[in-house]
Amino acid sequence: MSWPVFWLKDDWRSRLLSPLAALVARVATKRYQRFKQAKLAADASQGLASPVGPLVLVVGNLVVGGSGKTPLISWLIPLLQAQGWRVGVIARGYASATRYQPERVTPNSDPDQVGDEPLMLAQTFDVPIVVCRERAAALAGLLAIEAVDIVISDDGLQHYGLARDLELVVFDASRPNAGIGNGRCLPAGPLREPLGRLQDIDFVLFNRSLSDVLYTPPAWLKGGPSCFNFQLQLGDAYALSKPNQTQKLTDFIGQPVYAVAGMGHPERFFAALTQAGLDIEPRAFSDHHPFTEQDFTCFDPTKPLLMTSKDAVKCQKFARSNWWVCPVEVNMADDFAASLLQAIRQDPRFVR
């Protein structure tokens, strides 16, 4: 979602809402403390016995809005599969019709039923994917259909009904203050939980812009968890109606093109296209917008149109021949993969 101006930097509106933000912070902290105490009690009762079931890795947000979680998950899946581990994914299926009954996502699923990002993953990877608003129910549903070694939870950091083994938090560093804006909790700011929650996080990743040649962790993270950087880079475009037909982004230079994005921070997509030298006419939609053919009736059909991968899965049925998809590639810090794999291999389920 796009942030209101007063989330970016403190002003009278954020200060006016600060009492409500303090209440949200207290409630969020108490919820996490209850979860933490229950986890400690469960670990104590288990004693030296090996954990059962798959390792659960949560990839989540501390703030509202997009941060680059799904491209990161697309990077994680082949990394974990390369180690010989069976991987599954659970998600809410944002803006989907799925409520409290787990539903498996297949490449032919309806995006209105399962959500755009889970469908995008299902069309890219041969792994079991289950969506449900209740993450614990999604996990149970996944394990009922296929045995896996590692389950990646797309978001779900604040869903404390879901037991987890590792937590990874992603920030969009292109937003003000390295992704936390004014640093206040909802509704005065973008934080879902206070920054103190990061002290128990295993890894923090900053999705920084390509223009950030040198990037250092922000002051508010000093003394916190392991911190790494990555960047999202646009790859060659492919035709939505003919995915085998590809074209370099530079081929679009010198002609006006539409740029369509229904995501949490569409300006980032537009900036990447502009940085690539394209003359774009940006059209931003709400995050997870349910695209229909009527959304494009006012577009000049002779102009090429570029869109994101997650928007493309909702436009396949009515795509025109000059609509192109811009997939992203993750440029990850070299040492993160080694650190994550080391943390996983320290778990008793993976000790050889």
Instruction: Sheet containing 256-262: give its strands across.
Output: 246-247, 237-239, 323-325, 305-307, 256-262, 279-285
Angstrom distance (rounded) from CA 116 to CA 165: 26
Annotated binding site: 63-70
Annotated binding site for ATP: 63-70
Report, in angstroms and rounded to the nearest whole number, the Rg of the chain calculated over CA atoms. Answer: 21
Instruction: Sheet containing 226-234: give its strands across.
Output: 103-104, 129-131, 87-91, 150-154, 55-60, 166-172, 203-207, 226-234, 328-332
Question: Among candidates 138, 59, 126, 128, which has minimal Cα distance to 98?
Answer: 138
Query: Is the bond preceding residue 54 a cis peptide, omega within 30 degrees?
Result: no
Question: Which residue type, as a one-letter code, is found at position 347?
Answer: D
Q: Is 233 left (phi over 0), alpha (psi -120 to 50) or beta?
A: beta
Structure tokens at 252: 């679009």
